[in-house]
Amino acid sequence: MNRRLRKLDDKQTLSPIVLCTVRELFQKEVIHIHIGQAGVQVGNACWELYCLEHGIRPDGILAHSNDISSGAFFNQTGGGKVVPRAVMVDLEPIPIDEIRTGTYRSLFHPTSLITGKEDAASNFARGYFSIGREMIDLALNRIRLVAEECNCLQGFIIFRSFGGGTGSGFTALLLDGLTRDYKKLSKIEFAIYPAPKISPIIVEPYNAVFTTHACMDTEDVCFIFDNEALYDILARLLDVPRPTYTNLNRLIAQVVSGMTTSLRFEGSLNVELVEFRTNLIPYPRIHYPLVTFAPFVPPSRSMHETMTTQQLMMSCFEPSNQMIKCDPRNGSYMSCCLLFRGDINPNDINSTITHIKSLRTIRFVPWSPTGFKIGVNFQPPTTVPGGDLAAMQRAVVMVSNSSAVRVAWERLCKKFYLMYAKRAFVHHYVGEGLEEREFKYALQNIKALSNDYRELDFDATQRFEGVCDLYVANNADRTSLQLIQGFH
């Protein structure tokens, strides 16, 4: 039906009534929530890219009034102007003030930019118990008003960091409210996870463990990135000598855009937020998928390099292309979704999957025999002019649930314990209303999460080793038979 409407649109202009009907049928709305400095700055990069993809000027004017693809993320008002379905919240004013005075200052609704007077001081307890409580009602009320403007709201996409006080504490508080008010709607997160070596906040392990513990039951899926992996991608693959946060945020935006393409344009997989949970999450607690993107081609090499579909897919299994520092070869896959966009031949995808399976180097858990889920969207990738990525004909984002991520949780628990063993900085949290016993409860919960991943990996490893032993035994028997026949 969508294709017939598009053919009609090529011949004549659709009336507003028909356009409204199309939106109601195909455009289920999504609300973006950007929390804390990291969430707001990543959000600014995302909306910059969304506007380029949908032909929206920085002042919110839609270049093509009959464009029906922007309804999921933008609310169209009178005069051809659109407003993002987004709410930005920070306990301090500086990051959002940059939005208010920046290039896209006329794009956002003024009441959707919510700021406090003092920050959370990189303290989970301040964001969750003290300062955050003063702003939670205002934030939830503004989200309610944005939700009331939606015809068929499907869920929320939340951007934040695990390490900051606002990103960790206030997000946990907000998710409690969203779960209470919108229990059946999907809540998907894109979060900046503590990097192995780079850490701008000394109490980052505390905040990350507390927020993971608090949000375990209130979020559906959480896609994690870390700055160290992003820095390495920019420096080694994109030839950026001194990456800034702007470079990192635009890279994240490119990945988010690839993952949400089918939410906005016609696609075959993950066309609704709930499909991320359905396709990726086997158990409620195991909801931290890995994210990989390809290709990483800088503008200086764009005229000399081109990647086939097979090369794109093989790049997705390289640790250097991952958004978090862990090696997927040291774990087992529970699910894997490959989201293609642009000039893609589905036959090439099928042949490449057959080739990958024949390599026997990618392990899946024994109870997940389906393997790969493929989504193809023919909307070509868009890049920011003057950015770090070259214009591409095709791109792919791979989201996979792998037991290899347990390494990141084990690393976080170790850092947490090193500080807590000396009771370092504990008084800052207790003074803001957090009980000291919560330190032990939170750490135990994250250790249990790591053990959950380890148990899944153990089952898969046993199965994989058994298959390898059988393969070797069969080959050995065949070789012996050939030797005997040759002797006779």
Looking at the annotation, which residues are catalytic?
A: 275
What are 193's strand-pairing partners?
226
Whose tokens are 């984002």? That residue is 397
Select from 189, 123, 194, 223 the least CA-distant residue to 410.
194
Under 8 Å between Cβ of 130 and 93: no
* Token digits of residue 438: 């919560």
How many angstroms separate the CA atoms of 419 and 135, rounded? 30
The candidate with the shortest Cα–Cα distance to 219, out of 136, 296, 276, is: 276
Q: What is the DSSP string of 143-209?
A: HHHHHHT-SSEEEEEEEEESSSHIIIIIHHHHHHHHHHHSTTSEEEEEEEEPPSS--S-TTHHHHHH
Residue 419 to residue 90: CA distance in whole angstroms: 27
Among residues 430, 452, 435, which one has the least CA distance to residue 283? Answer: 452
Cis check for the bond before 200: say yes or no (omega within 30 of 0). Answer: no
Could you tell me the end-to-end alpha-carbon distance of the chain, in angstroms, rounded to an integer? Answer: 69
Characterize the bridge pairing of strands 394-402 and 86-90. Answer: unpaired
Burial class (CB in 10 A: 0-12, 13-18, 19+), 42: buried
Structure tokens at 219: 């979020």
> Which positions ≥6 away from 52 have C-beta within 8 Å?
382, 384
Query: SS3 sequence, 409-468?
Result: HHHHHHHHHHHHCCCCCHHHHHCCCCCCHHHHHHHHHHHHHHHHHHHHHHHHHHHHHHHH
Residue 341 zone, left/alpha/beta (φ > 0; ψ -120 to 50; rest) = beta
